């Protein structure tokens, strides 16, 4: 129960926008779909990161299913990913300070931060977000057991194919957003940005 509550809190903190953009900021167009995704996806994720108490309220049959709180190899991997991902997101929040926004934003007197996790990769917050979301999926995937078997989606969610599909879709959406973000940063910082990109990868040090 402690792990579930801890990781749910970390998910909430790691998916809450620490700073809002203002009218004085430069915010390049991401497209209408991306704009709403940035606002809705964290809320949808937070909805799934609820406690056993909420499950009991909405799914009474869960009260007789002790396995929901039992530790399995899959849930342990999920908890580990959520803890590392959640703490990593908070690290990114603290490092960027007021420059961290969910919308792609170039603020007045913006600085290119190259310390903390940004020493190693250009977009560590996305790496940690991927870990946090994947971990949440692994921990809470057993919630699907409370849906009727007639739902074909249930079997897909619980299958390795479902997990892989989720990861691929997440990455493709992320790649599109990162491309837009890097164009804005290149325009704002020019040579400094080019030098920074020549020394760092996007998501994983020395790999990608």
pTM of the model: 0.80
pLDDT reported for residue 52: 47
User: Does the pLDDT of residue 10 top 70, yes or no?
Assistant: yes
User: Does the pLDDT of residue 44 top 90, yes or no?
Assistant: no
Model pLDDT for residues 71-113, shown as the tens digit of each residue: 788 889 989 999 999 999 999 999 999 999 888 888 888 999 9
Task: Say whether 166 sits in a helix, a strand or coil.
Answer: helix
Please give the average per-residue pLDDT across 28-33, as a whole number. Answer: 58
Element (H, E) at 42: helix 32-48
Domain ranges of the chain: 2-199
What are the distances in angstroms from CA 135 to CA 24, 28, 51, 80?
36, 31, 15, 7
Higher pLDDT, 75 or 187: 187
Radius of gyration of the chain (CA): 19
pLDDT band (50, 70, 90) for residue 57: very low
DSSP 58-100: H-GGGGG-GGGTS--HHHHHHHHHHHHHHHHHHHHHHHHGGG-
Share of the chain above pLDDT 70, in %: 68
**Sign of the alpha-carbon torsion through 203, 43, 28, 165:** positive
Q: Are 102 and 15 in contact (CB under 8 A)?
A: no
For the 2-199 domain, the top CATH level (class) is mainly alpha
Model pLDDT for residues 103-145, shown as the tens digit of each residue: 888 888 899 999 999 999 999 999 999 999 888 888 877 665 5
């Amino acid at each position: 129960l402690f792990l579930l509550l801890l990781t749910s809190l970390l998910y909430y903190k790691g998916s809450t926008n620490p700073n809002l953009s203002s009218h004085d900021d430069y915010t390049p167009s991401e497209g209408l779909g991306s704009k709403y995704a940035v606002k809705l996806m964290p809320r949808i994720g937070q909805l799934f990161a609820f406690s056993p108490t909420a499950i009991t309220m909405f799914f009474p049959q869960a009260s007789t299913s002790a396995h929901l709180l039992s530790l399995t190899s899959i849930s342990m991997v999920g908890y580990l990913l959520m803890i590392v991902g959640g703490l990593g997101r908070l690290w990114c929040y603290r490092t960027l300070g007021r420059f961290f926004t969910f919308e792609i934003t170039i603020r007045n007197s913006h600085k290119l931060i190259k310390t903390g996790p940004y020493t190693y990769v250009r977009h560590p917050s996305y790496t940690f977000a991927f870990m946090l979301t994947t971990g949440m999926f692994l921990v809470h995937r057993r919630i699907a057991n409370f849906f009727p078997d007639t739902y074909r989606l249930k079997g897909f969610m619980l299958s390795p194919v479902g997990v892989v599909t989720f990861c691929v879709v997440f990455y493709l959406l992320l790649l599109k957003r990162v491309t837009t973000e890097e164009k804005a940063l290149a325009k704002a910082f020019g040579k400094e940005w080019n030098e920074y990109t020549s020394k760092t990868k996007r998501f994983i040090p020395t790999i990608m």
